């Protein structure tokens, strides 16, 4: 305030004026305590002490109110101003009577005198609100910076560890007043320390809690080179700031914990999805298209590693000939309900693959597909159904052949007898010719029953080990001639040996039947390929067979002919199934192939489509070493005249029994006949003379020829055995196991052959070749 000229202010007016100022006016000496000579009433508000309390400097000196950290600076400023005779302006902090820290602004000047006798006067006012506002602003900035740290930790680039290191380093920079501070954060078992931290007893700390639980502590200490312990002093605001930071760290840790838990859960879910043993593909609807956006490992494996290249492509683009799958996805999205479809996909060179695809809608625009390869199951199902059908047909064929062979034995034998008597009586030539016709017709019928037996796997064969490659090489010329000049036969044989165990002539028959079919299916210029290969036990060649595991030999016969549709394919192995014109095919070719292959313990697979040719693959178990030949029908000529031995004949079929009886009696043997095992055993009990030979059918009601022979042999040591057989290979094997010296004769046979064989057996010659 300016005072006007001549209007001098009275001293009491002046004192009142000074007392009303918002601050403290003083006059003091420049001694160490700044002893006050005058102080205005404003001192009370500024310091909490009345002027008289401050004037009595022995009770409370103003200098003592200055906080220790600032005192030296204040002293230095005053000393230099006094020395220079200048006024001084400064800011520092005092601690008032109530213990509050106040920021004060002071302006003073030297009034008179010098050195410690100098007198100073000045004005001190509280600028705390201003400084607090500034401080708060700085604090806000610091908090915002910390918030920035917090938000950056939420990103992927920074981990909680890194963030805490950064905070530990940042904290010291947040302290405005010297001396410097160092910080340490302990969180759980982790420790983050800024440089030069020392566990000082005067350090300041704030607890860190995470999700409401004590989790650690944040500490700061002052680093002072000075000996003065008060240098470690902290302000209340600093304490508050420390709590804010501790709170932020807690929030940060909590957030990191949540993020980590979320990530772990996401990883877990992803891992589940990845490790799901079902191929899973995720499609996204884009307009009318469904685009592949993701897949799991099982899908990678199922696609043989191709699936990553499909990502980003539409289903319609990937499977253009399967629009029904896109339709299924649309239905799945429209109805929001799951769907299943079975699809068969053609593959090059191997039978087609069959998949069950399940569709599930995942709002808002995803379709999840699970793909299960059911090729093996479907193939096995089909093969099982096929095998069942063939088994029934086989049994039927075997039954027919068995009865037929009995009848043919009778017809052929009586024809032989008649032929002899007609020849002896020198009857008319036409009778001889008629009998010849009967014989020929019977022989054709016998050949047909033989084919039926081949199909029904009841053909009597003595398997041997052959190299399939050798066989094909041997037959190659003949097969090429069968195909004729207009078709090309290519043979490609495995380098390794391909031993298979099979009846002699059976491979020839299989190849002939397949090559004739190939010839009939191809036009002039067509090609037929015969190949052999070996397969190790663990290869499955894309084909699922109902065969025991183990090394195999595969023979392929492929043509580029007309191929077959599914309906034809399903029936080709049935006996008498043919698509050829009457008289051109009997329909027995593949039935025989089937029977031979199954009898050899193998499997046959066909792959054919109309216009795309046909491939037959035949799998045989790979044999280890050649086996000695065993068993077999011996058709030996008569060696010696009969000697009147006793023969026990057991045969259920009356015409056969009568025929054999007649033939053997005519040959000079004594014959006992029985219709079944019980009767035969009874005859043995009552026998009056030695039985030299037992002739029995292998197939008997209630028992087998083999077990009957065993029981009778126990009573008649030295007795020889001849089995007659019309069908059963299993019965033949069983019989051979019981009696390795037994002989066999296949029905139908002629009387002449039977008599010759009986003689040879009784003479003790090798009845088994
Ligand atoms: N390579 C092939 N290509 C096309 N169709 C075939 C082939 N092989 C067999 N088939 C079909 O299978 C049917 C049955 O064959 P299968 O060999 O059993 O009898 P077939 O050839 O008709 O008569 P058969 O062989 O008894 O003289 C044939 O009529 C034909 O329709
Ligand atoms: Mg045929």
Q: Which residues contact 280 (CB under 8 A, 6 or more apart)?
A: 273, 295, 296, 298, 299, 368, 369, 370, 371
Q: pLDDT of 346-366, one tens digit each? A: 766 566 788 999 999 999 999
Residue 697 near ligand 1, beta carbon < 6 Å: no
The tokens for 481 are 């001639």
Q: How many CA atoms lie within 13 A of 92 on its CB side?
A: 26
Class of the domain covering 646-762? alpha beta
Spacing, Cα 519 to ligand 1 middle (Å)? 10
Ligand 1 atom closest to the Cα of residue 579 is 29
Q: What pLDDT, on a 0 to 100 scale, did the predictor assign at position 727?
A: 62
Torsion, Cα 491 494 495 498, to 10 degrees, reads -120
Strand segments, DSSP code E, in 198-300 are: 204-210, 213-222, 279-286, 289-295
Q: Which residues lie at CB < 5 A from ion ligand 2? A: 517, 589
Q: Measured in angstroms, how far is the CA atom of residue 383 from the centroid of ligand 2?
A: 21
Ligand 1 centroid vs 487 CA: distance in angstroms? Answer: 18
Contact 696, 651 (CB under 8 A): yes
Instruction: Identify each DSSP E strand in 654-733 by its residue range.
Output: 670-674, 693-697, 720-725
Least confident piece of the model among 61-65, 320-324, 354-358: 61-65
Instruction: Give CA–CA dist 359/381, Å, rounded.
Output: 24
pLDDT, greater one: 574 or 738: 574
- Choose the residue to mutate in 487, 517, 530 for probing ligand 1, maximizing ligand atoms within 8 Å of C-beta: 517
Q: Is 614 in the pocket of ligand 1 (CB under 6 A)?
A: yes
Residue 119's SS3 state is strand
Specify the pLDDT at position 309.
93
Question: How is domain 464-621 classified at the architecture level of CATH?
Answer: 2-Layer Sandwich (3.30)
Rounded CA-CA distance 557/514 in Å is 7
Rounded distance, CA 199 to CA 184, Å? Answer: 9
Check whether 102 has a pLDDT greater than 80. Answer: yes
Confidence of residue 478 (pLDDT cuts 50, 70, 90): confident
Where is 269: in which H helix or E strand? helix 236-275
- Compute, in angstroms, the gap from residue 587 CA to the centroid of ligand 2: 6
pLDDT value of residue 350 = 63
Question: pLDDT class for 124, splitting at 50, 70, 90?
Answer: very high
Q: Does 639 have pLDDT greater than 70?
A: no
**Is there an atom of ligand 1 within 6 Å of 585 CB?**
yes
Check: CATH 3.40.50.12500 for 276-373?
Answer: no
Mean pLDDT of 100-124: 88
Reference 710, options 690, 729, 696, 730; nearest CA is 696
Residue of 487, 512, 585, 612 to mutate, ligand 1, most atoms within 8 A of C-beta = 585
pTM of the model: 0.49
Lowest mean per-residue pLDDT among 307-321, 494-508, 635-649, 713-727: 635-649
Q: Which residue has the higher pLDDT, 761 or 143?
A: 761
Q: From ligand 1's centre to the CA of 589, what distance in Å? A: 7
Q: Is the CB of 459 under 6 A from ligand 1?
A: no
Q: What integer pLDDT is reported at residue 620 of this predicted model?
A: 92
| Residue in 511, 730, 534 with CA at minimum distance from that of residue 621 | 534
Are 694 and 674 in contact by the 8 Å Cβ rule? The answer is: no
pLDDT tier, 641 (very low <50, low <70, confident <90, very high otherwise): low
CATH number of 11-126: 3.30.450.20
Do residues 760 and 767 make contact, with C-beta atoms less than 8 angstroms apart?
Answer: yes
Find all residues with CB under 8 Å of 426, minimum gap 6, and list them.
Answer: none
Helices and strands per DSSP (H, E), number in the chain:
23, 26
Q: Residue 182: CA atoms inside 13 Å, Cβ hemisphere, count?
A: 12
Residue 741 in this model has a pLDDT that exceeds 50: yes
Q: Find the ligand nearest to 451 CA.
A: 1
Phi, psi angle pair for 546, to nearest 5°: -90, 55
Query: What would the pLDDT profile of 592-608 be if each residue is shown by its tens digit?
Result: 899 889 888 899 989 99
How far from chain centre, in Å, is Cα 246? 49
CB of 210 within 8 A of CB of 254? yes
CA of 586 to the centre of ligand 2 (A): 8
Contact status, residue 670 vs residue 692, Cβ threshold 8 Å: no
Stated length of the chain: 769
Looking at the predicted structure, is the pLDDT value of residue 392 above 70? yes
What is the predicted pLDDT for the residue at 178?
62
Å from CA of 557 to ligand 1 middle: 13
Can you give the pLDDT at residue 766?
41
Confidence of residue 638 (pLDDT cuts 50, 70, 90): very low
Give percent of the chain above pLDDT 90.
Answer: 29
Average confidence (pLDDT) over 465-484: 89
Domain 133-259 homologous superfamily, CATH:
GAF domain (3.30.450.40)
pLDDT digits (tens, 9 = 90+) for 237-281: 677 778 888 888 888 888 888 888 998 999 999 999 999 899 999
Answer for the pair 388, 708: CB distance below 8 angstroms, yes or no.
Answer: no
**Residue 518 Cβ contacting ligand 1 at under 6 Å:** yes
| Number of Cβ within a 10 Å radius of residue 405 | 26
CB of 559 shorter than 6 A to ligand 1 = yes
Question: Which of 572, 575, 608, 612, when mutated, tests ligand 1's pocket best, judged by the most ligand atoms within 8 Å of its CB?
Answer: 572
* 571-578 average pLDDT score: 89
Measured distance CA(278)–CA(373) in Å, rounded: 9
The CA distances from residue 309 to 277, 319, 358, 427, in Å, are 21, 14, 22, 89
């Amino acid at each position: 305030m300016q005072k006007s000229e001549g209007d001098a202010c009275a001293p009491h007016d002046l004192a009142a004026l000074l007392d009303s100022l918002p601050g403290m006016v003083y006059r003091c000496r420049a001694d160490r305590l700044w002893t006050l000579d005058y102080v205005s009433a404003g001192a009370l508000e500024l310091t909490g002490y009345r002027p008289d309390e401050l004037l009595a400097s022995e009770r409370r000196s103003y200098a003592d109110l200055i906080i220790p950290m600032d005192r030296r600076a204040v002293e230095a400023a005053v000393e230099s101003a006094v020395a220079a005779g200048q006024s001084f302006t400064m800011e520092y902090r005092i601690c008032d009577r109530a213990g509050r820290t106040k920021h004060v602004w002071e302006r003073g000047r030297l009034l008179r005198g010098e050195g410690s006798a100098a007198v100073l006067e000045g004005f001190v006012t509280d600028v705390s609100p201003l400084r607090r506002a500034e401080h708060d602003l700085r604090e806000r900035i610091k908090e915002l910076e910390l918030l920035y740290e917090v938000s950056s930790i939420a990103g992927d680039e920074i981990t909680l560890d890194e963030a805490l290191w950064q905070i530990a380093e940042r904290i010291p920079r947040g302290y405005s007043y010297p001396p410097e501070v160092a910080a340490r954060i302990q969180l759980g078992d982790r420790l983050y320390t800024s440089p030069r931290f020392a566990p000082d007893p005067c350090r300041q700390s704030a607890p860190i809690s995470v999700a409401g639980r004590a989790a650690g502590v944040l500490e700061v200490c002052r680093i002072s080179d000075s000996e003065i312990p008060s240098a470690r002093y902290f302000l209340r605001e600093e304490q508050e700031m420390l709590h804010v930071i501790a709170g932020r760290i807690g929030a940060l840790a909590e957030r990191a914990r949540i993020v980590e838990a979320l990530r772990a859960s996401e990883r877990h879910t992803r891992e589940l999805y990845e490790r799901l043993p079902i191929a899973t593909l995720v499609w996204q609807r884009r307009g009318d298209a469904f685009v592949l956006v993701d897949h799991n490992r099982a899908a990678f494996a199922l696609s043989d590693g191709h699936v990553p290249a499909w990502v980003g492509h539409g289903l319609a683009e990937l499977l253009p000939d399967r629009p029904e799958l896109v339709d299924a996805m649309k239905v799945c999205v429209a109805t929001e309900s799951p769907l299943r479809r079975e699809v068969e996909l053609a593959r090059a060179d191997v039978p087609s693959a069959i998949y069950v695809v399940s569709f599930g809608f995942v709002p808002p625009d995803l379709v999840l597909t699970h793909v299960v390869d059911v090729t093996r199951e479907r193939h096995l199902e089909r093969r099982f159904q096929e095998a069942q059908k063939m088994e029934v047909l086989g049994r039927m064929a075997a039954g027919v052949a068995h009865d037929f062979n009995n009848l043919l034995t009778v017809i052929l034998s009586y024809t032989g007898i008649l032929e002899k008597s007609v020849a002896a009586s020198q009857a008319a030539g036409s009778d001889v010719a008629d009998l010849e016709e009967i014989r020929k017709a019977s022989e054709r019928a016998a050949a047909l029953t033989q084919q039926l037996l081949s199909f029904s796997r009841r053909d009597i064969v003595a398997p041997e080990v052959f190299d399939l490659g050798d066989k094909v090489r041997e037959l190659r010329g003949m097969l090429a001639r069968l195909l004729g000049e207009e078709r090309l036969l290519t043979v490609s044989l495995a380098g390794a040996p391909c031993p298979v165990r099979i009846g002699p002539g059976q491979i020839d028959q299989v190849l002939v039947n397949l090559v004739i079919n190939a010839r009939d299916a191809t036009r002039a210029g067509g090609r037929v390929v015969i190949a052999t290969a070996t397969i190790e036990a663990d290869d499955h060649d894309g084909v699922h067979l109902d065969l025991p595991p183990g090394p195999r030999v595969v023979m392929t016969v492929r043509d580029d002919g007309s191929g077959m549709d599914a309906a034809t394919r399903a029936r080709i192995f049935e006996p008498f199934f043919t698509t050829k014109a009457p008289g051109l095919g009997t329909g027995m070719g593949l039935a025989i192939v089937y029977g031979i292959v199954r009898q050899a313990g193998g499997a046959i697979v066909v792959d054919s489509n109309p216009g795309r040719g046909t491939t037959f693959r035949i799998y045989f178990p790979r044999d280890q070493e050649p086996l000695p030949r065993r068993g077999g029908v011996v058709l030996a000529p008569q060696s010696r005249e009969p000697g009147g031995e006793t023969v026990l004949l057991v045969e259920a079929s009356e015409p056969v029994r009568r025929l054999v009886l007649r033939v053997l009696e005519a040959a000079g043997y004594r014959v006992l006949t029985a219709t079944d095992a019980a009767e035969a055993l009874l005859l043995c009990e009552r026998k009056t003379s030695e039985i030299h030979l037992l002739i029995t059918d292998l197939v008997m009601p209630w028992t087998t020829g083999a077990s009957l022979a065993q029981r009778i042999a126990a009573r008649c040591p030295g007795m020889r055995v001849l089995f007659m057989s019309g069908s059963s290979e299993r019965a033949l094997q069983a019989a051979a196991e019981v009696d390795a010296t037994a002989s066999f004769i296949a029905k139908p046979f002629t009387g002449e052959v039977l008599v010759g064989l009986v003689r040879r057996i009784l003479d003790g010659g090798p009845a088994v070749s």
